[in-house]
Structure 1
Amino acid sequence: MKYGEAGSLLNYFHNKVVENPSFQYALQLDSEEQITNIFWVDAKMLIDYAHFGDVVTFDTTFGTNQDIRPFGVFVGFNHFRETVIFGVALMYDESVDSFKWLFETFLSTHNQKKPRTIYTDQDVAMGKAITDVLPETWHGLCTWHIMQNAIKHLNCHMVEGSNVLGDFSACMYEYEDIVKFEDVFSKMRAKVHKQTWLDSIYKVKEKWAECYMKDVYTLCMRSTQLSESLNSDMKEYLNSELNILRFFSHFERAVQAKRDKEITLEYDSREKLPRIQMRTPMLLQASNIYTPQIFEAFQSEYERFMAAYTRPSSEGNAYIVGIGVLDEESTLEEEHVLPEHYIMKRWTTIHDAFGRNVLVDPKGAMVTRVAQPQTIVEKCFRTDQDQIEGSEFIGSYTQLLMGHSGGHKLNSEGLFGTAWTMDDYTV
């Protein structure tokens, strides 16, 4: 750091802690007691990670001057599928030791809660640090970075007339069958004069190929584009000629702009009715539970399962699930109730358990926050691979919906956004 910057940095952090004691920061010193690596989070980042820290991306970028520190940011997305920030770092270098310190500090700050999945680029030091610090977290590679490397390494070595890049993209995104993937990849190698890069990326195929990721919890995230979007906003302010306080000032504005967008989406979700294509009990229920973005995804999946149907059972609250046409010639009928493992709290719009907003700013600024609500969307994203299982799921969930079809309820603020409370459910 330049002369005087360390004092300015410490004073900045001290003022932040005074404003809100939930603000946290950590510094790593070298043998000469000079500041090397810096990590910080504010109260909103702590809350966001507690709710949405299941899938994380991490990426670093440099400023316009090569002497500037790497700037890194941990991000994910919220119930609106918009960017939320979990932590920020200014690093001395991109060594294994620096990354290990950063990831250990990140976990310590967030009460040792580990993400289920983390995406990064192909940085070797970063990968080794993740293996050491986050052995239980699935580590995926950013498909956008991989594709850029494919263009760089394969364009000049392709056999004339071949479509190697198209084949590689299909291997990355399309093929769900491992045998098919292996066959296409093997044939693709024959279309390239030099296979060095293909051989190296093949060794880590489990981190990027669709067929090896069918059981990985990703929330449909496949790249670090969330991180890079924020890094792009910050890059011009990482110039070593700029005072570090100016950097922090701009960073706060960039972060606040994203948070303001979330507040706008939260408001819109409460004031605007979702577009319901079919007014079935299930979609009516889902429209009251999910955020508009997630409801659209749910509704799209629902339409795929119109081959399935449900009808009331004579046994209590159970429903009959059928596949086929609505007559006596249906191919399958079974009776189901909603299994507990379909309930995942992530995507919906509710307050806390008492119907209250979460205070992020102790001075009085209130931000509506979702508090781990109920969802089944992750299951829906997979059921088109198994029609019978999907039909069972639809019928099971409809049982719950029909059991509560007696009318909507108002929440504590008189808004139709949390039509059903946790007390309504018996699971």
Structure 2
Amino acid sequence: MWLFTTFFEAMGGKKPKSIFTDQSAAISSVVDTVLPEAHHGLCLWHLCQNAAKNLSNNGYKTFAPQFKACIYNPEIVEEFEQSWDKLFEDNGLRGNEWLQRTYKLRKKWAQVYSHAHFCAGMTTSQRSESINKFLKDYFNHGRIVLREFVSLYSRAMDNRREKEREAEHLTQQTTPNFICNWSVEREAAKKYTKKIFYWFQECIKQTIDLSLELENGDGTIRTYRAKEIEGRKRICTLTYNHLEQTVSCTCKKFEFDGILCSHALKLFRHLEFKSLPPEYYLKRWTRAATYEVICDPMGEIIPNDNDPMLTAHYSELSHISQRIVSKGSRCIDVFSLSKSLLVEVEAKIDTFIASDEDVNKSIRIDTHHKSVSNMQQEAQLREPTKRRLKGQSSKRIKGPLESKSRKNNSPKVIGMQAMS
């Protein structure tokens, strides 16, 4: 409870829409208390690992494919219930207590219940695990002193920001290969980051294998059926609002990960849309996501490491360095010259950065001294006034409760201790 409360304070009071955990009963009970409106999902990787442990004597290898199909494939609740009953019957697991407990938690792991909740496409706690691994690569020395921790953490963050700048540079300076002449594909390439655009492009590719037919075209609301021409022939129902130009698909892909599904894209292309309605481009997936000014809880602006100017500087230096690398690796003599000059340049940059930090530090110290000096001068100017007011207040008659309250006017400090 303390951990979640502290986390919310650090996030300025903003709470997540979805949260993924393992099957810890202690964590689950607290999540239900502090995040009653959030979607609480169980990490599917942990769920499959627990299934392997609890069903090892019942032939999990033959059971696993059917179990995973039950997790991912059903698109309506009735289909899930049928798949679950068939899972029990085919594997003779009617009396298995672990599966019975797991079934009671089905709304936390069966994807048919999760698709209506925005999860940014995540179904596991892999994001947390990858961060853990990333930091462990830097903190592998056992116990370290605090100043070393700060230094290593700064190095880790510098490395992460460098990779982000590389990705930003790749997005800004390269153009993807297009697969069709639909203007929406080019529009998406300009709006999305490179990685997200490729996910979007895969959905465009899938429209090739879909057929679309009008089911109900009366009035403002139209209903379409989209199905696969070959394969499983899965059918999805699309509801299109002509006036609002909005579409909803029973697969719930957009609601789940924030990128339009192939069924909706098939419909928009069928209706000859030249551009998608803006609400279908979530800002979190676009290039503009890092351009917004962000303030901390105190109202101070947080520096943006993805400022367009920084990206432009990175791009220009990248081009220069690439030319040097290309020319400098041609023969051993040019290589030796290039290497020595680059090492010299790096040393000069490090010296310049260190001296610049010392200057900024001295400016901060000087500013602090000036502010302290100003405060002391103001205090000296206020002292005669305080003595005069004190002399006046000593003549005032105290009220019946005043003398008692003055004994307890010191500020109270409320402490919270977390048990390890």
Provide the TM-score with structure 2 as the length reference.
0.51
2:80 counterpart letter in structure 1: F
**What is the root-mean-square deviation in Å for CA atoms of aligned residues?**
4.0
| Contact 1:117-1:138 within 8 A present in 2 as well | yes
Aligned to 2:69: 170
Written as runs of structure 1 = structure 2, the 5 A alignment for 1:340-379 is 378=257
Long gaps (5+) in structure 1: 1-99, 310-320, 325-333, 343-374, 402-410, 417-427
Is 1:206 equivalent to 2:107 in the alignment?
yes
Provide the TM-score with structure 1 as the length reference.
0.50
Which of 161, 180, 186 in structure 1 is aligned with 2:79?
A: 180
**What are the Cα deviations for residues 179-210 of structure 1, in whole angstroms up to 9, with x where unaligned?**
23222222323425561111111111111111
Identity score, percent: 28
User: How far apart are 1:377 and its partner, in Å?
Assistant: 10
Is 1:126 equivalent to 2:27 in the alignment?
yes
Which of 269, 274, 292 in structure 2 is aligned with 1:398?
A: 274
Written as runs of structure 1 = structure 2, the 5 A alignment for 1:186-335 is 186-190=85-89, 191-192=91-92, 195-235=96-136, 237=139, 241-306=143-208
CA distance in 2, matches of 1:398, 1:323: 22
User: How far apart are 1:340 and its partner, in Å?
Assistant: 7.5
Aligned to 2:396: none
Long gaps (5+) in structure 2: 213-222, 227-239, 249-253, 278-290, 292-307, 313-420
Change (3 A) 1:186 1:234: same
CA distance in 1, matches of 2:87, 2:224: 43
Q: When you count strand as a share of all residues, which structure comes out higher?
A: 1
User: How far apart are 1:149 and its partner, in Å?
Assistant: 0.8
CA distance in 1, matches of 2:55, 2:141: 34
Change (3 A) 1:204 1:271: same
Change (3 A) 1:238 1:103: farther
Larger gyration radius, structure 1 or structure 2: 2
User: How far apart are 1:400 and its partner, in Å?
Assistant: 5.9
| Contact 2:42-2:108 within 8 A present in 1 as well | yes
Aligned to 1:155: 56
CA distance in 2, matches of 1:254, 1:341: 43
CA distance in 2, matches of 1:122, 1:186: 23
Range moving further from structure 2, 244-253 or 214-223: 244-253
CA distance in 1, matches of 2:20, 2:109: 10
Change (3 A) 1:122 1:376: closer
CA distance in 2, matches of 1:288, 1:101: 43
The residue matched to 2:19 in structure 1 has which SS?
strand
The residue matched to 1:175 in structure 2 has which SS?
coil
- Paired residues, number: 252
**What are the Cα deviations for residues 383-403 of structure 1, in whole angstroms up to 9, with x where unaligned?**
63xx6x9514874752569xx
| Contact 2:241-2:247 within 8 A present in 1 as well | no
**Which gives a bigger RCO, structure 1 or 2 (Cα 8 Å, sep 6+)?**
1
User: How far apart are 1:259 and its partner, in Å?
Assistant: 2.4
1:286 counterpart letter in structure 2: A
CA distance in 1, matches of 2:256, 2:81: 30
Change (3 A) 1:186 1:395: same
The residue matched to 2:131 in structure 1 has which SS?
helix
Is 1:137 equivalent to 2:38 in the alignment?
yes
**What are the Cα deviations for residues 330-389 of structure 1, in whole angstroms up to 9, with x where unaligned?**
xxxx995764899xxxxxxxxxxxxxxxxxxxxxxxxxxxxxxxx9995654463xx6x9
